[in-house]
Structure 1
Amino acid sequence: MSAQPTPAAPDLLNIEIDGKPTQIRKGAMIIEAADAIGVPIPRFCYHRKLPIAANCRMCLVDVEMGGRMMPKPQPACATPVAEGMKVMTRSEKALKFQKDVMEFLLINHPLDCPICDQGGECELQDVSLGYGRSVSRYTERKRTVADENIGPLVATEMTRCIQCTRCVRFTSEIAGTYELGGMNRGENLQIGTYIGKTIETELSGNIIDVCPVGALTNKPFQFKARAWELTAKPSIGYHDALGSNLWLHTRRGEVLRTVPRDNESINECWLSDRDRYSYQGLYAADRVSAPEVKRNGQWQATTWEDALSFAAEALRKVPAGELGVLANPATTSEEGDLLVRLARGLGSAHVDHRLRQLDFADGAVAGTFAMPVADVAKVRGALLVGSNLRHEMPLLNHRLHQAVKKGAKVYTVNPAAFDFNYKLAGEAVVAPQSLVDALLGLARAAVNAGASAPAALAEAIAAASSDQGDADAVAQLKNGPAVIVLGELAVTHPQASWLRAIARFIGEATGAAVNELPVGANALGLARAGVLPGNGGLDAQAMLANPRKGYVLFGVEPPYDFADGGKALNALLGADSVVAFAAFASPTLRDVADVILPIALLPETDGTLVNVDGVPQQVQAGTKLPGQARPGWKVLRALGGLLQFAGFEFDDLAGLRAGMAEVSTRPGAVGLATRETVSGLTRLASWPIYRTDAVLRRAEALNAHPLNRAPAARMNADEAARQGLVADAAVKLGQSVLPVVIDAAVPDGAVWIEAAHDLTATLPAYGATLTLSKA
């Protein structure tokens, strides 16, 4: 009896590749089916995440349909499968065409593999080994292409380019910025920006990964090492709470570059420039490599025993209840747990990691996304509140960009007209003091559509006015899967409790999920570990507004990491004792601290970070520590043991983890911040994409990027005229003098002054009323 073909499911087709039967979904291309069963087909232009171009022709295969051979080989990347199709990838005709294409592709390639950074991991090398000739028959002069300088992150050698257009398709379809393109035709075709501009997308490093030759390479890594010299260590990104998976490529314990590690549910196969290039900051000149203590006003390097004894004595002198513990929100969960144990042993309930939060009326802490990251690409509607999502979480914004390409509509309520890489269906741009009112308009539209307002918001919603745009946004959120994203400018807003409450109501009224962006890579993990004020404890802002006599700073760099840097500096300078666990010793930290205990950064230590989907991701040290620096958990264990506190008896990380108890994150209190009438000019304070933490502020290539703008007072032309100012005029704020930049993105009543610069770190907080004076 002959074997009968397996009947296919309604959306599956039966095909055969090199004699191997398989089933594949309708609409799939031959190359997808071949990849699924492990049949290799050479390719250059095809990439599973990019639109099909079919312009390299390397993947030509023989195809038989209905018992008849197609007269010409077909490109496997652009030929859809059909029922009963038979594909031959290694037939005589297919191999002849593949080898001919390979010969054509190498005609103009410079064959400079010995000096090319891509050598050893180059797709062109790999494929030419299998399909190329040993000697070129081409004797004519090769063409050359002049290089463009496209910025500090990506190096170009466009003579090597084979015009696969992967980079062009990436910038247009994934980054959404349309910055690269093809110019001229035929043998004169060149890929570039035409005018030699810097590539400004926050995802630009991915064009290095998709480039199959050495035309686009990593500029900071250029000529540093060969691929076979590097050791790959798995790690995760720690500059936002997405937790992108990545590989650290190290040589002799030093990180030389970073590349993405595939994880479809988190970062797919992409990596933001922030996570890719930040490793440069690990090796900054002010990195602390030995413990230091301040005696008689002078800093001196010392031994660990002396430094720990000094720190223990300083902490013992702080009266009970007068110690504040402030942790960086990227601190690992293990270190956070030990900080809580240390504070408990010292009799303090004043512990917090929410350094940039201004409104604590509802006791808010970071929580898991209501809609997983992977599902954001499937939404039909989205509302962004107080969010410059491209800068706050670039790869979450990428998911939303993919949704817009499929027809999703995005609405925003923002304190500035941010530059999105997709078209908005509706946009409300208002000064920070009007953000709550603008969101109340949407809530009013939801009530008009039949929702019942909660008692706490009923009066405010009734007093709000809404327009047709609000009604359209609410209708779109009701129309299928939708998400409301509360961005960093909402979470750190002085009336964040109102924005959270209104967003939750709109979510309930429309069925939309509410995703609140955590501020800090491990804000969720630290909330679970209980790095929060205990009974009667003060939150981060209260600890600074009511200064303590002593502070423990863990991974915190004053004044840059605080919502109100000036207030933080005053509190720390006035304290009797400040014990700093730090990787870097800035001049300001040296001014406020009494002892500096050098600790590891995330790529150098073992630990756990919890991402926005609530997934704990454990990492192991991927590189060696400088000098005498030690992992933070080991330093805390030694200090707690010296103080003879309970909970520090473990021997290793496994013992520490065994004793960790997850604290159920407390539900938000029902309180809402007092709404005060604000008049005059208010400050919009956003954290620049490449200055959100100490490592990024020291990454040289990122600091040279155009997205890292110089500090300035930005306002629109009408507001500048009302203030009697013109472009490039100098204004004085406190001790800082800033240039005026006319920016149409800023609404009336606001001045946009980015935080975390030397000139802006101590200025009044986000939402504060400012008085500008001519310098």
Structure 2
Amino acid sequence: MSEVVATKQSVSFILDGKEVTGYRGETIIQVADREGVYIPRFCYHERLSVAANCRMCLVQVNDGKKTLPACHAQISQDMVVNTQSSTTRQSQQSVMEFLLINHPLDCPICDQGGQCDLQDLAMGFGKGVSRYEDTKRVVKDEDLGPLVSADMTRCIHCTRCVRFGTEISGIPDLGALGRGEDMRILSYLKTGLNSEVSGNVIDLCPVGALTSKPHRYRGRSWSFTNHAYYSAHDCLQSHVYVHTYKNGIDGQDAVMRVVPRQCDSINQIWLSDRDRFSYLGLQHRDRLTHPMIRDGKSWRVVDWETALTLVSEKIQSVIKDHGPEQIGALISPSTSLEEGFIGQKLLHTLGCRNMDYRLHQRDTDYMDSAVHTLPQEFLSFEQLDNSQCVVLVGSYIRHEQPIAGLRLRAASLKGTRVLSINPIAHAWNFHCEEEVVVAGQDFVQFLGACVVSLANFGAIELSDRWRERLIHIDSSTQSDRFAKYLMQSDGYLLLGQYAQSHPHASAIYKLCSLISSVTQMRLVMMTPGTNSTGLHAIGYGPCHRVDSVNMSTGESSYQMIDRPKQLYLLQQVEPEIDHYDPALARAALTRAQTVVAITSFTSPEMLEYADILLPAAAWTEFSGSWVNITGEINTFQAIKPLHGQSKSAWKIYRVLANLLKCEGFTYHDISELRADIPLLSSGCLDESIDGEVDLSPPLPRQLADQVVGSELTRIGELGHYQMDTLVRRCDPLQRPADKVIAKIHPDTVRRLGFDDPGNDVVVSLKQGQNVISCPLLTDKTIAKGAVYCPVICHGDSQLSGRNDAIEILFSEDDQ
């Protein structure tokens, strides 16, 4: 990067007749930008390396006749730089004339019009009439996929897109072939763009060569209204600008596009494709526009009063006949603080304690019994950038939190060691120093082996209870190497979705907590959804707060499904996809007396098990607050009108509480509700809550080697474009809905007593009573003793627990 070469040794020189000061190693353009002196540029970008191939930034130095590229020329003592001289102007005008020789004159239809650097600089530095009369070159456009549109005749070969792939994303999808006029920017293997952050090339392209394909010919930038907002698909909450158009598509106010908003502490200037394009789901055909109630096997549209009155009657009936413990609430981890607070308050008033947002987890004991209301550590990207070591524990950070993956890659390039403990040897976009591929009980056992290695090296004195629990676990060569890294480094232990959704997540958390307590490795849970940290901070869940003490009196999301309830209240979730055990969840919802769904979208499955549908405001349509993984409280306002008859979820809870004659719900607006939430009224997270870290050992059953015989464990991954109800409805992000493909290590097949089935065999996968048929491929990146079978997001067939035991049923011909 161009900004890392500078030192702190001061250098004084003359810039346009004014003495300025820079630092040795800085370039002319860096100092000029800091001093407010504009130098035109195309290829230069402050976040990328210096290419100096567009030559638009040529400036006169020391009155020389030969101008120098300001992006590459470093400052020196007493040098004289003139950015306004006739020599400088002539050089820049000549470069502009050459760039325009082959550029098409299609500005009226170009999506970059109005925000095009070439347009702007042609006005400032170009000539009014072209001297070029020959035929312009034409470049065939390549299909780069559903997100980025290529008009490569407009390309000026700045190579920003190429450098982004090689330097920032680590996925070199694009490259340059040929020289001079024959040079082409293209994907070498004709596979398009496969990076999860590929949309950033749209922002980097200074002309209209790379534009947004979903936004193509949809509107002009000067017609849009700009809104500062936050993304809603992971715990980072990237800062974005949302552009809306009044009376836009189909005569409605619409979100036209989403672009990054600079925030150096979070996403810098980058944005993941999930955050950039998910807005397209707001107009999806599944969008719920009116309240609906089930009428036999059909659905009937009703008004809000009828729907909410029916909901209140159903709740009162269940409480009267079965008690409040027969009500269960499952909400999205992206629920705002305001919605979570008033929903929790209503349920507590009714005497119900069964509420949870952690649908992806089976084992939540370590959270429900914790003394702290907050995670032990927040993530600081400044500290991450300077960490000596980062350990990814059950985390595919590249897909789960793509922007965090970019920040980790940048740290890795600066020298941070990255270690991985995962069930799959993932395709990382950075160098992984050590990688252990284990799944199921072996995953827990390896963490236990790391603790034993630390004890053997004298880094920790284990208590008698810990020694008793770890007595059957031996250290290994790999665990010894990990232990040495952990002892000698400061950094982070990042727990990802596999670690959190593991059947023995409590054991994993306690082992990592012990490691963190005896090393300088800070433990951070990279939670799914937008606001898991905030919901945990206000005590939403079966574990509620009484006089600063957590009281576990309710049931977790898994327990609510394992012990079916009479009434379920769902908010912005699809349990048939989101829940740890989709098949069990669907069965419980089908058997329930009443299922009320507060949702922005319907699905064929939801229309089967739900009884009352209440349309809720989606992203950009409601006001609220979230807490991100760095501890920041982000408050935002609605920026577009509600869709159809949708309502903000907190207002639905308020009216429902009044119909149920609950006291304390007379909120006239959201500011009154926020005044009742201590976290928001104080304006900061309460980090003064003291309490020792729970370093008690896991239960014996959580550490025992339970895998016997030929039992396999499933790796049930939820795709990064299936994380929530909105992104699932973004069609350009969805891949073709082909049949599910299972993968297994070839050694595991042989251990089961079968020959390598090759890549064309179809098997049956069985979990409990649930069986699906799918192709089985052998893949050496999968942990031994495990079967990779992702969560199925379409169709009627579902397996059970994401990471539970699984069987493979081969046909006799394959044995």
Identify the TM-score tier after normalising by the shorter chain.
over 0.9
**Aligned position for 2:531:** 522
* Equivalent position to 2:425, from 410, 417, 420: 417
Opposite residue 274 of structure 1, the aligned amino acid is R
Match of 1:700 among 726, 731, 752: 731
Provide, for residues 77-105 of structure 1, a one-character-per-residue CA deviation record: whole Å limited to 9, x for no partner.
11222233332111111111111111111
Shift, 1:647, TM fit: 2.8
Q: 1:341 aligns with which of 321, 338, 345?
A: 345
What's 1:740 paired with? 776
Who is 1:3 aligned against?
Answer: none
Query: Is the aligned partner of 1:209 residue 2:203?
Result: yes
1:345-384 aligned within 5 A: 345-363=349-367, 367=375, 369-384=377-392
How far off its partner does 1:761 sit? 7.3
Aligned residue number for residue 25 of structure 2: 27
- Aligned twin of 1:315: 315
What are the equivalent positions in structure 2 for 1:731-770 lying under 5 Å apart? Answer: 731-733=763-765, 734-758=770-794, 762-770=798-806
Q: Could you say which residue in structure 1 is the equivalent of 2:741?
A: 712
Q: Is the 8 A contact 2:65 2:87 kept in 1?
A: no
Q: Separation in 2 of the partners of 1:647 and 1:21?
A: 66
- Residues 358/132 of structure 1: CA separation in 2 closer, same or farther (3 Å cut): same
The one-character-per-residue Cα deviations of 1:450-503 (angstroms, maximum 9, x if unpaired) are 211443533444543334443333333444542211111111111111111222
180, 186, 189: which is aligned to 1:192? 186
TM-superposed CA distance for 1:744, in Å, is 2.2
SS in 2 for 1:257: strand
Supply the AA of the counterpart residue of 1:697: R
Which range is displaced more, 292-301 or 34-43? 292-301
The within-5 A match list for 1:39-438 is 39-64=37-62, 69-252=63-246, 253-319=253-319, 320-363=324-367, 367=375, 369-438=377-446
Residue type of the alignment partner of 2:329: V
Give, in whole Å, the separation in 2 of the partners of 1:531 and 1:134.
65
Query: Counterparts of 1:590-609 in structure 2 under 5 Å?
Result: 590-609=607-626
CA contact (8 A) 2:417 2:433 kept: yes
Alpha-carbon distance, 1:418 to partner:
0.8
Residue 582 (structure 2) pairs with residue 576 (structure 1): no
Distance in structure 2 (CA, Å) of the matches to 1:12 and 1:601: 52
* Cα shift at 1:140: 1.7
Residue of structure 2 equivalent to 1:4: none
Going from structure 1 to structure 2, the CA distance change for 1:81 and 1:278 (only over 3 Å counts) comes to same
Answering whether residue 666 of structure 2 is matched by residue 672 of structure 1, we say: no
Change (3 A) 1:27 1:478: farther
Change in 2 beyond 3 A, CA 1:180/1:767: same
Tell me the distance in 2 between the aligned counterparts of 1:457 and 1:219: 57
In the other structure, the counterpart of 1:566 is 583
Segment drifting more, 757-766 vs 355-364: 757-766
- Per-residue deviation, 1:641: 1.9
In structure 1, the residue corresponding to 2:514 is in which secondary structure?
helix
Task: Pick from 666, 671, 682 the counterpart of residue 654 of structure 1.
Answer: 671
Residues 3-62 of structure 1, C-alpha deviation per residue, up to 9 Å, x if partnerless? xxxxxx963333332233333333221111111121111000011111111111111112
Using the alignment, how far apart are the partners of 1:366 and 1:242 within structure 2? 16
1:38–1:115: structure 2 CA closer, same or farther, 3 Å change rule?
A: same
Deviation string for 1:710-741 (max 9, x for gaps)? 52211123334545644232223324322223
Which amino acid counterpart does residue 388 of structure 1 have in structure 2? Answer: Y
1:345 Cα deviation after fit: 2.0
Q: 1:748 is aligned with what amino acid?
A: K
Q: CA deviation at 1:684?
A: 0.4
Q: Identify the match of residue 642 of structure 1 among 644, 659, 679.
A: 659
Q: Is the 8 A contact 2:359 2:575 kept in 1?
A: no
Partners of 2:625 and 2:42 in 1: CA distance: 38
CA distance in 2, matches of 1:15, 1:472: 52
- 1:685 pairs with one of 686, 707, 716: 716
Gaps spanning 5+ residues in structure 2: where? 1-6, 247-252, 545-550, 680-684
The SS at the match of 1:321 is: helix
Residues 726 and 468 (structure 1), Cα distance of their counterparts in 2 relative to 1, 3 Å cut: closer
Q: Check whether the contact 1:457–1:502 (CA below 8 A) recurs between aligned residues.
A: no
Aligned-partner residue type, residue 261 of structure 1: R
| Mapped partners of 1:158, 1:336: distance in 2 | 48
Q: Letter of the aligned partner of 1:691 in structure 2?
A: Q
Percent identity between the aligned chains? 37
1:403–1:152 distance in 2 versus 1, CA, 3 Å: same
Corresponding letter in the other structure for 2:350: L
Q: Who is 1:730 aligned against?
A: 762
Measure, in 2, the Cα distance between the counterparts of 1:355 and 1:400: 27
For 2:57, give the aligned amino acid.
C
Shift of the 135–368 alpha-carbon distance from structure 1 to 2, 3 Å rule, reads farther
Q: Distance in 2 between matches of 1:453 and 1:682?
A: 33
> Which has the higher mean CA deviation after the structures are superposed, 50-59 or 497-506?
497-506
Cα distance, 1:644 vs structure 2: 2.2
Which residue of structure 2 aligns with residue 549 of structure 1? 566
Give the total of aligned pairs.
762
**Aligned partners of 1:547 and 1:575 also within 8 Å:** yes
Residue 601 of structure 1, CA deviation: 1.3
Task: Give the superposition deviation at 1:366.
Answer: 6.8
State the shift of 1:71 in Å: 4.8
- Contact 2:567/2:592 (CA < 8 Å) preserved in 1? yes
Equivalent of residue 624 in structure 1, options 632, 637, 641: 641
> Residue 317 of structure 1: CA displacement?
1.1
Separation in structure 1 between the aligned mates of residue 713 and residue 489 of structure 2, nearest angstrom: 37
Residue of structure 1 equivalent to 2:4 = none
- Answer whether contact 1:288 1:598 (CA < 8 A) is retained: yes
Secondary structure, in 3 states, of the residue corresponding to 1:603? coil
2:469–2:697 CA contact under 8 A, matched in 1: no
Separation of aligned partners in 2, 1:352 and 1:333: 14
Q: Post-superposition shift, 1:368?
A: 6.6
Report the 3-state secondary structure (helix = DSSP H, G, I; strand = E; otherwise coil) of the residue aligned with 1:23.
Answer: strand
Rounded to whole Å, the distance in 2 between the matches of 1:710 and 1:128 is 52
Question: Offset of 1:650 from its aligned partner?
Answer: 1.2
Deviation of the 1:381 alpha carbon: 1.5
* Gap change, CA 1:10 and 1:415, over 3 Å in 2: closer
**In structure 2, what is the Cα distance between the partners aligned to 1:101 and 1:478?**
56
- Local SS of the residue matching 1:639: helix
Q: Secondary structure at the match of 1:656?
A: helix
Equivalent AA in structure 2 for residue 278 of structure 1: S
> Counterpart amino acid of 1:758?
H
**What is the identity, as a one-letter code, of the residue corresponding to 1:426?**
E
Change (3 A) 1:460 1:671: closer
Does the 8 Å CA contact 2:245/2:254 hold for their aligned counterparts?
A: yes
Whether contact under 8 Å (1:685, 1:753) holds in the other structure is: yes
Partner residue in 1 for 2:682: none
For residue 382 of structure 1, give the secondary structure of its aligned residue in structure 2.
strand
